[in-house]
């Protein structure tokens, strides 16, 4: 019944000699004397139509037409098209909707300014390459749901109109006609709800959940985003990680024909920082950081001497077979400086140092010793020195920029890695206090249970992040469900009983009525789908995205409102 319509992209030689009817958009018009060739397009593709002057209206690109005609073989088949062997000789064409000149050409190869595309997103979405991404998103998310439903997870919708957090930072607040000085808040995540669903006994929950964050918008952030939210009872981190692996393996096989290797690599947070200078390392390329401090123990270079005296480090990474140019290095170095430290670079050929910007301050011999030790022959070495954490971060940033410039990574690779053994706390330098690195319901690791309140620096969490090609695409943890541990956790981050009650009162109340051990994860679907479709921005895989200022250019939203409307909501403009 649904297939009564014949779609443009589906007209093949199977319909040869039949008289058919199609509907679609005029994507291209080519006149050759008395004959006009049209490309008629729809979601399924393009079919060529031949008109022999039998039309009585102006043909414009992007107009919508109905065409009746006969399917015939083409003289010159087009191998690139599914419909390329045939064409339709029109007996009748009806104009259903005339299009005026579009602000940009609806063509995969046409480039326009983002503002123009976003303002006319309905036209941008007509382009095959854009449409295919939105279609992939639909199929991919459905495949995720399918897997989880088959594994007996329950999809549960949690409220969008939820409760403001006491701080309110980054909450979208929603006033209501039904209460003066009363606000709902849009959820930053369904965290509290999914934990309550475990208290309620659902055992295995998931949701394709909309989340909201009103923050200073950086490049490629959206005020609303979609996550796959999962929570389970009576499990541990191994089980959650293996379910996510199987979930991704199954859905990528189904939707993209890709065979992922599982289990994914696991890397401790500390290793990720030491080897890649990042808690979300891109493992499609190596460029691993190595500690070079021992090679400089006897250096005469004052800066290095001071560095070693202060028990700081010298680290670097090799770029095989690439002689970095000076102008490229300037760009690379800028990224490291942004993270706090400058770098230096050296180049080598056959283990001989070609370029040493520090001249006599660092002897070539030292540098060549390094090559010998690491069996490095040709290419460049980038080093930096200072406190370990800063060196890691600076070199980590340089490492990413080197790949950007020299395209070392294979774009077809999908390198998933779990980052585990996270710190339980983060030190807030401004406030001079420790805060929960994830959220205060994240369980301390077993080996930190006794000591996490006294040795906050080394306390580890039962938390795990999933990283793909240098992007964090998910994170989760095993939650605290023991009342005493929770109390100690709150004390460790200096919450008063009053604050505890205001922030988490209803969750703690719920935990008093029998809470199962539980944990979960949330995957950022926008970012994951961006990576899977090789898009350069999440805007490309969202049907109606906002620009980087949070503005929907098509709708012109947010926008002003009649003050009378605000009266009804008991608020006014400041």
Residues 238-257, interacting with a second copy (CB under 8 A):
239, 242-243, 246
Q: Is 256 helix (H, G, I), strand (E, B) or coil?
A: helix
Give the helix ranges, DSSP H, for 342-411.
Answer: 364-374, 388-406
Residue whose CB is less far from a second copy, 23 or 78: 23
Binder to a second copy among 80, 152, 330, 431 (CB under 8 A)? Answer: 152
- Indicate whether 537 belongs to the interface with a second copy (CB under 8 A): no
* Residue 55 near a second copy by CB under 8 A: no
Pairing label, strands 416-420, 265-268: parallel
What phi and psi, each to the nearest 5 degrees, are found at residue 317? -145, 150
226 binds a second copy (CB under 8 A): yes
Residue 133 in 3-state DSSP?
helix
Q: Which of 56, 365, 432, 574 binds a second copy (CB under 8 A)?
A: 574
Residues 498-517, interacting with a second copy (CB under 8 A):
506, 510-517
Decide: is 546 part of the binding site for a second copy (CB under 8 A): yes
The interface with a second copy within residues 365-384 (CB under 8 A) comprises none
| Nearby residues of 234 by Cβ (< 8 Å), 6 or more positions away | 203, 516, 517, 518
User: Minimum distance between the CB of residue 214 and a second copy, rounded to whole angstroms?
Assistant: 5
Q: Which of residues 328-347 bind a second copy (CB under 8 A)?
A: none
Work out whether 1 is an interface residue with a second copy (CB under 8 A): yes
Contacts of 121 (CB under 8 A, 6+ apart): 543, 544, 545, 553, 554
Pair of tokens at residue 479: 């939650």
C-beta of 456 vs 518, nearer to a second copy: 518
Which residue, 225, 74, 246, is CA-closest to 143? 246
Q: Which of 36, 40, 42, 316 binds a second copy (CB under 8 A)?
A: 42
The residue within the footprint of a second copy, chosen from 11, 25, 424, 440 (CB under 8 A), is: 25
Residue from 59, 82, 160, 323 in contact with a second copy (CB under 8 A): 160
Segment lying near a second copy (by CB under 8 A), choices 41-49, 349-357, 447-455, 487-495: 41-49
| CB closer to a second copy, 303 vs 555 | 555
Return the bridge partners of 381, or none. 318, 346
Stretch that binds a second copy, among 38-46, 81-89, 464-472, 486-494 (CB under 8 A): 38-46
Least Cα distance to 318 among 388, 382, 368, 364 occurs for 382
Q: In what order do the strands lie in the sheet with 416-420?
A: 154-155, 204-212, 224-233, 518-524, 471-478, 463-468, 416-420, 265-268
CA 224/CA 550 separation, integer angstroms? 9
Q: Does 102 bind a second copy (CB under 8 A)?
A: yes
What 3-state class would DSSP assign to 525?
helix
C-beta of 471: minimal distance to a second copy in Å? 20
CB of 265 to a second copy, least distance (A): 19
Question: Does 151 participate in binding a second copy (rule CB under 8 A)?
Answer: yes
Residues 189 to 218: which contact a second copy by CB under 8 A? 193, 196-197, 199-204, 210, 212, 214-217
Query: What x/- string results for residues 105 through 144 when contact with a second copy is judged by CB under 8 A?
Result: ---------------xxxx-xx----x--xx-xxx-xx--
- Rounded to a whole number of angstroms, the CA Rg of the chain reads 30
Is residue 550 at the binding interface for a second copy, with CB under 8 A as the rule?
Answer: yes
Distance CA 345, CA 358 (A): 9
């Amino acid at each position: 019944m649904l297939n009564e319509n014949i779609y443009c992209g589906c007209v093949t030689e199977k319909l040869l000699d039949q008289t058919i009817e199609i509907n679609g958009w005029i994507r291209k018009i080519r006149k050759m004397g008395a004959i006009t060739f049209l490309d008629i397009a729809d979601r399924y593709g393009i079919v060529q139509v031949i008109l022999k002057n039998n039309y009585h209206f102006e043909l414009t690109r992007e107009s919508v037409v109905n065409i009746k005609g006969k399917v015939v073989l083409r003289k010159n088949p087009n191998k690139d098209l599914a419909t390329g062997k045939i064409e339709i000789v029109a007996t009748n064409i009806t104009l259903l909707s005339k299009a005026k000149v579009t602000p940009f050409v609806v063509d995969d190869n046409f480039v326009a300014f983002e503002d123009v595309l976003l303002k006319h997103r309905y036209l941008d979405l007509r382009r095959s390459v854009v449409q295919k991404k939105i279609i992939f998103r639909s199929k991919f998310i459905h495949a995720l749901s399918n897997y989880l439903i088959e594994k007996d997870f329950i999809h549960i919708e949690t409220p969008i109109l939820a409760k403001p957090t006491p701080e309110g930072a980054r909450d979208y607040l929603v006033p209501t006609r039904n209460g003066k000085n009363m606000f709902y808040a849009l959820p930053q995540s369904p965290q509290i709800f999914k934990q309550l669903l475990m208290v309620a006994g659902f055992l295995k929950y998931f949701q394709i959940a909309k989340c909201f964050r009103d923050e200073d918008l950086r490049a490629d952030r959206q005020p609303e985003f979609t996550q796959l939210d999962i929570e389970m009872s009576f499990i541990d981190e191994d089980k959650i990680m293996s379910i996510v692996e199987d979930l991704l393996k199954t859905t990528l096989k189904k939707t993209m024909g890709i065979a992922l290797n599982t289990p994914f690599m696991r890397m401790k947070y500390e290793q990720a920082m030491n080897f890649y200078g990042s808690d979300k390392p891109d493992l499609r390329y190596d460029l691993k950081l190595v500690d070079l401090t021992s090679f400089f123990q006897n250096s005469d270079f004052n800066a290095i001497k001071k560095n070693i005296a202060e028990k700081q480090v010298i680290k670097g990474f090799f770029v095989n077979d690439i002689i970095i140019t000076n102008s490229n290095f300037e760009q690379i170095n800028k990224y490291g400086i942004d993270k706090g430290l400058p770098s230096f670079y050296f180049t080598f050929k056959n283990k001989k140092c070609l370029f040493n910007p520090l001249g006599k301050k660092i002897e070539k011999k030292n540098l060549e010793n390094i090559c010998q030790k690491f069996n490095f022959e040709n290419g460049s070495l980038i080093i930096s020195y200072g406190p370990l954490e800063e060196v890691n971060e600076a070199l980590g940033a340089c490492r990413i920029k080197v790949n950007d410039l020299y395209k070392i990574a294979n774009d077809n690779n999908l390198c998933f890695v779990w980052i585990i053994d996270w710190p339980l706390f983060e030190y807030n330098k401004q406030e001079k206090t420790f805060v929960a690195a994830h959220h205060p319901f994240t369980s301390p690791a077993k080996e930190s249970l006794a000591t996490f309140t006294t040795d906050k620096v080394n306390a580890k969490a039962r938390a795990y992040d999933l990283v793909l090609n240098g992007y964090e695409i998910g994170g989760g943890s095993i939650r605290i469900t023991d009342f005493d541990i929770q109390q100690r956790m709150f004390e460790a981050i200096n919450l008063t009983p009053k604050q505890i009650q205001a922030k988490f009162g209803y969750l703690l109340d719920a935990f008093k009525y029998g809470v199962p051990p539980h944990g979960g994860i949330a995957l950022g679907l926008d970012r994951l789908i961006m990576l899977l479709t090789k898009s350069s921005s999440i805007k490309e895989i969202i049907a109606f995205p906002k620009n980087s200022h949070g503005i929907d250019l098509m709708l012109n939203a947010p926008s002003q409102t009649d003050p009378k409307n605000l009266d009804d909501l008991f608020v006014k403009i400041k």
